[in-house]
Amino acid sequence: MEDSRQRLQDMVSLLSASTPPPPEVVGGAISVARWAETVLQQMLEVIWVLEGPAPELDELVDWRKVGALLSDCYELLDEGSEQGADMAKRSGEELSVTIFCSDGVP
């Protein structure tokens, strides 16, 4: 579970970079906004895995720790969303999705 938090932190760092990713990726060009949206989608997928451990593990899971970890992860997702939107804006683009978690305000 702690690995998930670190993975999200690494993704936020990517979105916080002062320069956007290179314009060429395998398969052709990709916009900065689309790249940021892809990173945000990956962040959501990490959180979804944490939210839904198998029911047979319920007795083994410390739900207080999971709750605290999820709270941290949602904060990282909020930060990543803000950083991704800022990166897209610096490139003259806009994200086509808005993600918000903590206070309900995009």
Looking at the domain assignment, is residue 105 inside a domain? no
Split into its structural domains, the chain has a count of 1
Q: Taking 50 as the threshold, does the pLDDT of residue 106 lie above it? A: no
* Structure confidence by residue, pLDDT tens digits, 5-35: 899 999 999 888 877 666 555 556 678 888 8
Residue 44 lies in a domain: yes
In a domain, 101, yes or no: no
Q: What is the mean pLDDT of the chain?
A: 80
Q: HEC states along the chain?
A: CHHHHHHHHHHHHHHCCCCCCCCEECCEECCHHHHHHHHHHHHHHHHHHHHCCCHHHHHHCCHHHHHHHHHHHHHHHHHHHHHHHHHHHHCCCCCCCCCCCCCCCC
Domain residue limits at 76: 2-90
How confident is the model at residue 105, as a pLDDT? 42
Is residue 41 in some structural domain?
Answer: yes
pLDDT band at residue 49, thresholds of 50, 70 and 90?
confident
pLDDT tens track for 63-87: 788 888 889 999 999 999 999 999 8
Maximum alpha-carbon separation in the chain: 50
Residue 104 lies in a domain: no
77/53 Cα distance (integer angstroms)? 20
Classify residue 21: in a domain, yes or no: yes
For the stretch 90-105, pLDDT in tens is 888 888 876 655 554 4
Residue position matching structure tokens 């938090």: 5
